[in-house]
Amino acid sequence: MFIFSLIFLLCFSLVFGQDVPVAAQAPVPAQNQPQAKSPGADINHLLGRPECSADIQKYCKKQIQMTPKEQLSDMTVLECLQDAGYSDAETLTPGCEQAVWEVKVALTADDRFHNAVVQFCANETRQFTQLRPCLDETKPGHSLSFLECLQDAGYSDTETLTLGCEQAVWEVKVALTADDRFHNAVVQFCANETRQFTQLRPCLDETKPGHALSCMLDHVLQLPKTGQCFQFLARIQSIAFTDFRLVGTFVEKCGEYVAKLGCGTLTRNSAHKGAKVPHSQGATLECFIDKLVNMPKEHEATLKSVSNECRHEVMRIAELQSDDWHLDRPLFFACRQDRERFCSEIPAGDGKVFQCLLEHRTDKFMEPSCSKILSERAGLMGQDAHLAHPLTNSCQNEMKEYQCNLQPGYQSSVNFHLSWLLLCLENSLHNYNAQQHDLSKGKQLLPGQKKLTSFNQQCQHEMINHRSFMVQEFKMSPELVMGCAQEIDKFCSPNGDIEKNGLTIHCLMEHAQMRDERFQISSQCMGTLQHLMKVADIGTNYQVDKVLYSSCKTLIEGKCKMDSGSEAGVLTCLMKYVDTDDMTNDCEQRLVEVQYFLARDWTLDTNLYESCHKEAVERCSAFDNWHLQNNPENKIDPGPSVLACLYRAAYDEKKPLTKECSMNIHRILRERAIRVNLLPEIEDNCRDALSEYCSNQVQPQEEMNCLQENFETKEFKKKYSNCYKELEKFTLMESKDTKLNRLLTRACRPVIDTYCSNLINEEIDHGDVMECLSRNKDKQEMTPKCKSYVNHFELISMRDYHFNYRFSKACDDDIKKHCSAFGQDKGAVIRCLSNIMFEHRILGETPDLAKDCKKQLRVAYLQQEQVDLDFDDKKHMVDADPTLMRKCENDIRKLDCKRKNTFEEIVECLREGFDTLEPDCKAVLFDREKIQAMDNTFDDELMRLCQFDLKKFCSSTTEGDSAIKCLSNTKIIRVLQPTCQKIVRERLREQSRDDRLRPGFLKVCEQDAKQHCNEEYKKIHLKEYSEQQLGAVISACLRQQLARFDIRLQPQCKEELSNIILEAEFDVQTDPMLYKACKDTINRHCSNKIVKEGGRFDTVLECLKADFYTSQIQDQNCAKELARITQEALVDIHLDPSLFEACSVDVRRICNDVPPGQSRVISCLMDALEVPRVQMSDQCKTKLSERKKLWNVAHEKYKMEFPKTLSGIYNLVAEHPERDSILAWFGGLILIILIVGCCCGRCTKRTAYELKNK
């Protein structure tokens, strides 16, 4: 063992600057010499060692056959026996094994070692200049430097040691670390440290080979780097870490697993060719680390059985190596060129070189072998946070302050992982930022609350770096490696290679969104992914995700460079461009993958967390800490449910959130509403519904529309009740906040900017923008796409009135009071409220609706009228008014109304064919007619088609039935636009079918109706007739009273009746009794005249009158009706438009002072007709003559009455145009009678007097 002593003295003299002569060393004690040797044997020659004779004959046959035994060299025999010694099947005898050992040690000792180097490495030193300095290192006192020199050469790609030289290096290193005299070196050179650091003292008690070294190296990082103990151990560990056999505890704890994994055998010479590391040094540890990180399937069982003690040893060694990359020899040599290429300016130590290389691992210029070993080391770092030296060094104070130090004894638990440390630090940083946010808003600390310590910038920088590593290197998350192993193998390694550059994480994130069970990840994998997203905290700084950054670089460095005020704001900016031309497919995919996880953890949005933290804790049961580091009670993280709770609270006006919190919730909800999978409650509950209803050619951005189009059906509610509930909640919010409908607001931007700009700028528009869009659907800026989105939401709100926010809020009380029986069917509710409004205003019954409700009722009614769908979507037409469409289904088919494009046109088609409709259909149509007659603004068809004429002739009409009154004026109706004239005529015909459709008439004639037509008046108030048309019962009764000369009606009522009579002059169909009686007569007598007059239907009555006074009408019913209207027209010349038109000039000239009514003007004209001296126009004379014949026929044949009572005579005289002359003559006659009477009376009296005297 003299050689061993010599080697150690040389090594120690090198470290501490001492040159120890060889001659000064004592001879080896006798007891240390081999026991069995033949006399005269040379212990340094294997051929002369008897203990190896049998082994030489057994294992070196090939060499003996090729070379005579006397010519065999010790080196040849040594190589042969060495190969046998490292073989699994061939084992040397103990004596020969010891002899081989001693010979190899002797080869490396003192001068003989130098000779060996010259002998075995001469060619290499001449060929490779890098080895030449090694010859100078063979001086006494420089053995360690020489070992390092040869060791580095052995790891080179181009410089390969010969086998003899390699083994020589190996033996020296073994001797250096395994000999008992290592204790003496520790005692001598680490005396001060062992006194100062008590944890080093137990190392001196280690007696097993190599254990003392392991113990000392456990604590080397705690020693002062300037001390001689650290310098000594640093030189030793640079040699020791290149081979696992030199670290005694590693061999003891992991030897069994090393053998099972096949990492402990020396590679044979044939396997050295082309290898990066052609010798065995360091290969065992590297092999073991590779297996632990990559978990190959064939060794899965063995790796799972690896004891915690063995894992601890691996981590301890890796931790020491990670501090200085020179100590990690495989990493050092694999990445030497890349270090110069990428990290030449980075000084070694504190793990800085490794971190620099890891940052460039995805660079295409990095050597594959370097990238591979970096990935393996990153995996170890994920399992042991101590390996992250830049992070732990920069955050020492923060780790201590916030209790984030890795506790001894937890090495085998997740609490030792890098993710645990990062979460602890991030939790503390978020809590600090939240406290600073509250303080900046003027909030005070609670009693007993401590002001938190700030984080230094370097610590925050390292946190971001290591979060980025976690996203790029999935192996840094041990939980992910274990939890997602099958998914990674199945989905993310199509060619057997793991995807690089962070794509593995995004690959798993992509499959997390899959709805097809064949491509879904397990719940375990999903959980580990969510944990990783928490660690990475991408919401705080997007730059930690290099894949996202590279995919969206154009937008990030372009439009989002100025828009975003912070790293967190970049994600918000990117979300604005989803589904736009500026967004690339790759960027959109990566962005949605990230947002998918952010949408499931409310803490990952920094602004949201800081502004809503307090309210989330108080109102939504959120954890007080950003991350619950210690969870002894195993509380379930309420992350997704917290977001859902905050969403609802943000739209709760009774108990609102703070303004800042509400704004942030509105922001993220609007961002995420673009995709169903970014709304966890909907996506999780609607997966099956999406597969059933929206799987065929439905783009992701259209999925919400697809669900909303179907979710209100009975089948959907029954089959997917949970999905319906979540969709209902979201649609209610959408009805209140139009900005949640991103597709609509984007497609309708031109209309919004032009007509609704003041509304969209509100934080919440309360549905006003949708109402504005509905009002402006006919504007030029309204594109087909915008219109389709508006129609889509209108359809949704028509199925359920709750989805019309303004309407449901304004009418909620009235609906509960009057219409609760109709459920959520908006069409039925609108009909119910309309009836309430009608009955109050027209019939004076029931309480009136609230003012705001009446306003919103009009809006909702018009939206229903204006439903406009493409031909492919006509199946949804029924949603406008399900009751009407169901009851009128047969009539729609019969009248071919299906071809109409809008609901309004279908209704109009039915109204035109009203007489042929079934009773149920008539009833439901009658409800619509009543509300439109009561308030013409509800009549969209009328207001739209007559828009031009209303502006021209009726600009002052604002409410009630004033529009139809104005348009039906005899002077106006004749000059209306054809389309307007047609709709006005149709409305007048509808009014003639029931007096309740004439609200103005009922109002002014109420008293007269009660007095003269009480039975008819009572009938319109009966509930049994509320949906049944009664005909013109009141107006017909009052018209009879008007034609009589003994009944006096109110002037306003007489005016309304006159208008009704005049309507028949314009269109005979507005007098149902006349039209019904004369329909056949009209077809026989007047069809040619109508054609001749160009289709003017107002010529029909004149045709009938002409035939009537010539006695050509044979139908007695028709003749009686003509007599009736003739008698009505006799009341006032204005009721006979043809006569008035013919005599208008004569009326002004002859009867200008005669007031209209009670036949006064007609009587004046007739009197003038009899006076020859009165000049009258021929046209008037002709028409008067015709009318006189007509009146005579009516009087003679149909008993048309003239005035005949005293009161009638009085009225005739009082209203006669020559009443003054009549009264003068009458007064004069009375005076004469009185005078005569006086005279006669005096004579009589005298006679009587005389008689009396007698």
The mean pLDDT value for 621-649 works out to: 75
pLDDT band (50, 70, 90) for residue 504: confident
Residue 139 has pLDDT above 90, yes or no: no
Q: What is the DSSP string of 79-141?
A: HHHHHHHT-SS----HHHHHHHHHHHHHHTSHHHHHHHHHHHHHHHHHH-GGGHHHHHTTSTT
Does residue 166 have a pLDDT over 60?
A: no
pLDDT of 31 over the 50 cut: no
Question: How is 126-192 classified by DSSP, letter by letter?
Answer: HH-GGGHHHHHTTSTT-HHHHHHHHHHHHT-SS----HHHHHHHHHHHHHHHHSTHHHHHHHHHSHH
Q: 468-482, 821-835, 990-1004: lowest mean pLDDT where?
A: 468-482
* Cβ neighbours of residue 480 closer than 8 Å, sequence gap 6 or more: 474, 508, 525, 528, 529, 531, 532
Q: Identify the H or E element spanning 488.
A: helix 485-491
Percentage of the residues of the chain whose pLDDT score is greater than 90: 8
Which of 36-45, 286-295, 1213-1222 is predicted most confidently? 286-295
Torsion 528-532-538-540 (CA) sign: positive
Contacts of 948 (CB under 8 A, 6+ apart): 977, 980
Looking at the domain assignment, is residue 1228 inside a domain?
A: yes
Tell whether 1187 and 1251 lie within a shared domain: no
Contact 369/387 with Cβ under 8 angstroms?
Answer: no
Q: Are 995 and 1038 in contact (CB under 8 A)?
A: no
Query: Does residue 489 lie in a domain region?
Result: no
Average pLDDT over residues 1087-1102: 60
For range 803-813, the mean pLDDT: 89
Tokens, residue 238: 């640079």
Is pLDDT above 90 for 723?
A: yes
- Residues 320-340 have a mean pLDDT of 68
Of 797, 688, 704, the closest CA to residue 742 belongs to: 704
Q: Which amino acid is at 646?
A: L
Residues 1140 and 1110 in one domain: yes
- Segment among 80-94, 356-370, 559-573 with least mean pLDDT: 80-94
The mean pLDDT value for 431-445 works out to: 85
Higher pLDDT residue, 266 or 589?
589
**CA atoms of 1222 and 1046, how far apart (whole Å):** 22
More confident position, 905 or 411: 905
- Both 1245 and 1232 in a single domain? yes
Looking at the DSSP assignment, which residues form a beta bridge with residue 868?
902
Q: What is the pLDDT of residues 675-706, one digit of tens each?
A: 998 998 999 899 899 988 887 767 888 899 88
Higher pLDDT pick, 868 / 817: 817
The answer to whether residue 390 is domain-embedded is no
d(CA 24, CA 10): 12
DSSP string, 944-991: HHTHHHHHHH-TT--STTHHHHHHT-HHHHTTS-HHHHHHHHHHHHHH
Q: Is the pTM of this model over 0.85?
A: no
Closest CA to 1079 of 1118, 1124, 1125: 1118
Q: Would you state the pLDDT for residue 633?
A: 60
Give the span between the Cα atoms of 157 and 760, in whole angstroms. Answer: 68
Pick from 553, 637, 639: nearest CA to 591: 553
> What's the CA angle centered on 1083, arms 1079 and 1086, to 5 degrees?
110
Q: Under 8 Å CB-to-CB from 1191, ≥6 apart: which residues? A: 1126, 1130, 1200
End-to-end CA distance of the chain: 205
Q: Which of 77-81, 242-246, 687-691, 1037-1041 has the highest mean pLDDT?
A: 687-691
Contact between 564 and 572 (Cβ < 8 Å): yes
- Least confident residue range of 384-398, 840-854, 1083-1097: 1083-1097
Angle formed by the axes of helices 523-536 and 585-598, to 10°?
A: 100
Contact between residue 208 and residue 177 where contact means Cβ atoms under 8 Å apart: no
pLDDT digits (tens, 9 = 90+) for 259-316: 787 776 433 333 333 333 333 445 677 777 777 777 777 788 888 888 878 877 777 6
Shared domain for 1126 and 1233, answered yes or no, is no
Domain annotation covers residue 1169: yes
d(CA 1008, CA 718): 56
Q: Let me know whether 1237 and 1157 are in one domain.
A: no
Mean pLDDT of the region 526-542: 88
Choice among 272-281, 654-663, 1002-1011 with the minimum mean pLDDT: 272-281
Identify the H or E element spanning 1239.
helix 1219-1253
For residue 1089, name the pLDDT band (cuts at 50, 70, 90): low
Answer yes or no: do 1201 and 1230 share one domain.
no
Contact 1197, 1118 (CB under 8 A): no
- 1205 and 1230 in a single domain? The answer is no
Nearest Cα to Cα of residue 1018 among 1006, 1001, 1028: 1006
The answer to whether residue 888 scores a pLDDT higher than 50 is yes
pLDDT, mean of residues 457-469: 88
Report the distance separating Cα 663 and Cα 671, nearest Å.
12
Number of domains the chain contains: 2
| CA distances for 798 relative to 324, 745, 802, 823, 865, angstroms | 71, 20, 9, 12, 11
Q: What are the tokens at 737?
A: 């906040």
Instruction: Check residue 1204 and give its pLDDT.
Output: 46
Q: Which residues span the domain enclosing 1204? A: 1099-1217
Tell me how far apart the alpha carbons of residues 920 and 898 are, in angstroms, rounded to a whole number.
19
Q: What is the mean pLDDT of residues 239-247?
A: 50
Query: What does the pLDDT read at residue 503?
Result: 83
For residue 134, what pLDDT is reported?
Answer: 57
Domain contains 1231: yes
Query: Any idea what the Cα angle at residue 243 is, between residues 239 and 249, rounded to 5°?
Result: 100
Is residue 1170 predicted with pLDDT exceeding 70?
yes
pLDDT digits (tens, 9 = 90+) for 909-965: 998 888 888 989 988 888 888 888 888 888 888 888 898 888 888 877 666 778 888
- What's phi and psi for 197, nearest 5 deg? -110, 105
Dig out the tokens for 73 from the structure. 């060299």
Angle, CA of 700, 702 and 705, to the nearest 5°: 135
Q: Residue range 162-186: average pLDDT?
A: 57
Between CA 969 and CA 973 the distance in angstroms is 6
Q: 817-826, 858-867, 926-935 — which is least confidently predicted?
A: 858-867
**Residue 1237 domain-assigned?**
yes
Same domain, 1151 and 1126: yes
Same domain, 1242 and 1132: no
- pLDDT for position 839: 81
Q: Mean of the pLDDT values across residues 16-34?
A: 32
- For residue 1031, the cross-strand partners are 994
Residues 107-117: what's their mean pLDDT? Answer: 52
The answer to whether 287 and 281 have CB atoms below 8 angstroms apart is no
Q: How far is CA 914 from CA 895, 917, 1003, 1030, in A?
A: 10, 5, 26, 14
The answer to whether residues 1170 and 1249 belong to one domain is no
Residue 998's pLDDT is: 85
Residue 994: what are its φ and ψ, rounded to 5°?
-165, 130
**Residue 497 has what pLDDT?**
53
Distance CA 644, CA 651 (A): 12
Q: Which residues contact 981 (CB under 8 A, 6 or more apart)?
A: 973
Residue 871 has pLDDT above 60, yes or no: no
Q: Considering only CA atoms, which of 466, 457, 455 is closest in space to residue 399?
A: 455
Among 458, 438, 465, smallest CA distance to 541 is for 465
Comparing CA positions, the residue from 368, 391, 558, 374 lying closest to residue 458 is 391
- Do residues 1201 and 1232 share a domain? no
The pLDDT of 1024-1050, averaged and rounded, is: 80
The DSSP bridge partners found for residue 977 are none
Low-confidence winner among 98-107, 249-258, 365-374, 691-700 (lowest mean pLDDT): 98-107
Higher pLDDT, 655 or 901: 655
455: pLDDT strictly greater than 90: yes
The helix (run of H) or strand (run of E) holding residue 721 is helix 721-736
The residue type at 1161: V
Question: Please, what's the largest Cα pairwise distance for the chain?
Answer: 221
Query: What pLDDT band is residue 635 in, cutting at 50, 70 and 90?
Result: low
* 265: Cα separation from own chain's centroid: 57
The closest of 1138, 1140, 1175, 1157 to 1217, measured between CA atoms, is 1157
| Highest mean predicted confidence (pLDDT) among 155-164, 365-374, 1205-1214 | 365-374
> For residue 421, which of 237, 627, 199, 598 has the smallest C-alpha distance?
627
Residues in contact with 760: Cβ distance below 8 Å, sequence separation at least 6, in sequence order: 738, 739, 745, 752, 769
Tokens 């294997």 -> residue:
46
Does any domain span residue 402?
no
Q: What pLDDT score was predicted for residue 25?
A: 31
How does pLDDT run across 55-75, given as a tens digit for each residue? 888 878 777 777 765 666 776
Residue 1129 within a domain: yes
Tell me: pLDDT of 119 over 60: no
Report the pLDDT averaged over residues 1184-1190.
80
pLDDT, the chain, mean: 76
DSSP 697: S
Q: Please calculate the CA angle 994-999-1002 and round it to the nearest 5 degrees.
A: 80
Shared domain for 1195 and 1126, answered yes or no, is: yes
Whether 637 and 658 have beta carbons less than 8 Å apart is answered as: no
Tokens 């520790």 belong to which residue?
186
State the average pLDDT over residues 714-719: 91
Give the residue-averaged pLDDT of 163-169. 55
Confidence of residue 19 (pLDDT cuts 50, 70, 90): very low
Whether residue 581 contacts residue 542, with contact meaning beta carbons closer than 8 Å, is answered with no
